[in-house]
């Protein structure tokens, strides 16, 4: 694939689109957090995933999990945590392994041939298999989407950059609960790490010969969607 003036071998990384963070009845919802922003971006993430699958771009999901015993909670390893984060941890276990809460939301669920990376911290590369898997496929460029833009998405993207990958953020296929944090991440990536583009622009780099006729027409109609500000900060 040629991305701007560069020949790249990309993979898509979809960060933490899980019931516990996104869905009604999930942990964040039960904690009283406004998750409507997260839900609004799911259709765009689905379009991006579908585009990549149809054009043989590997799709990797990260899935944040915790153990029911609490052995891997941040409060066991950190004496100093932001009060809001510590309070959430103490109130309710989030995305416990094997529960609906931890599952990736049904609208964008993995399919055979996709890859799911289990992670326990904010970034995709910490004690996970993803680097080995990417290497085995000869991947040199990572396309990022998912939630939360300014937390796990940005942390994973920065880490990927420092590990030697070229990085791209699809700006309308990611979102933060805080508009200022979202905009700050966009600026940071543009200035220091890689490319930021919307799905419509990204689809324009897919060779038209690779796209089926229906998707060609659909891709030409893609337009950026505005991010919506939430009242809740995480």
Q: Give the residue numbers annotated as catalytic, written as ranges.
A: 16, 119, 152
Side-chain-side CA neighbours of residue 84 (13 Å)? 7
CB of 59 closer than 8 Å to CB of 108: no
Distance CA 158, CA 125 (A): 11
Strands 6-7 and 2-3: antiparallel
The conformation of residue 224, written as its DSSP 8-state character, comes to -
User: Based on the number of CB atoms within 10 Å of its own CB, is 60 exposed (0-12), middle (13-18) or buried (19 or more)?
Assistant: buried
Q: Which two tokens stand for residue 43?
A: 């259709």
User: Based on the number of CB atoms within 10 Å of its own CB, is 18 exposed (0-12), middle (13-18) or buried (19 or more)?
Assistant: buried
Distance CA 203, CA 216 (A): 9
Distance CA 142, CA 154 (A): 12
CB of 211 closer than 8 Å to CB of 155: no
């Amino acid at each position: 694939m040629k991305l701007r003036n560069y020949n790249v071998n990309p993979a898509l990384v979809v960060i933490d689109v899980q019931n516990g963070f996104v869905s009604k009845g999930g942990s964040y919802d039960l904690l009283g957090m406004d998750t409507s922003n997260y839900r609004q971006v799911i259709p765009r993430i689905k379009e991006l995933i579908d585009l990549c699958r149809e054009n043989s771009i590997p799709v990797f999901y990260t899935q944040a999990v915790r153990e029911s015993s609490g052995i891997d909670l941040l409060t066991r390893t950190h004496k100093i945590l932001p009060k809001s984060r510590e309070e959430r941890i103490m109130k309710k276990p989030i995305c416990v392994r094997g529960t609906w809460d931890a599952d990736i939301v049904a609208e964008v669920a993995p399919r055979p041939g996709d890859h799911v990376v289990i992670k326990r911290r904010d970034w995709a590369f910490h004690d996970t298999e993803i680097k080995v898997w990417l290497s085995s496929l000869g991947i040199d460029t990572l396309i990022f989407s998912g939630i939360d833009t300014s937390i796990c998405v940005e942390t994973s993207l920065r880490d990927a950059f420092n590990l030697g990958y070229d990085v791209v953020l699809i700006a309308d296929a990611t979102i933060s609960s805080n508009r200022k944090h979202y905009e700050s991440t966009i600026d940071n990536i543009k200035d220091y790490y890689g490319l930021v583009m919307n799905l419509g622009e990204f689809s324009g780099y897919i060779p038209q010969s690779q796209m089926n006729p229906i998707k060609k027409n659909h891709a030409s109609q893609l337009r950026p969607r505005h991010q919506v500000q939430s009242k809740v900060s995480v």
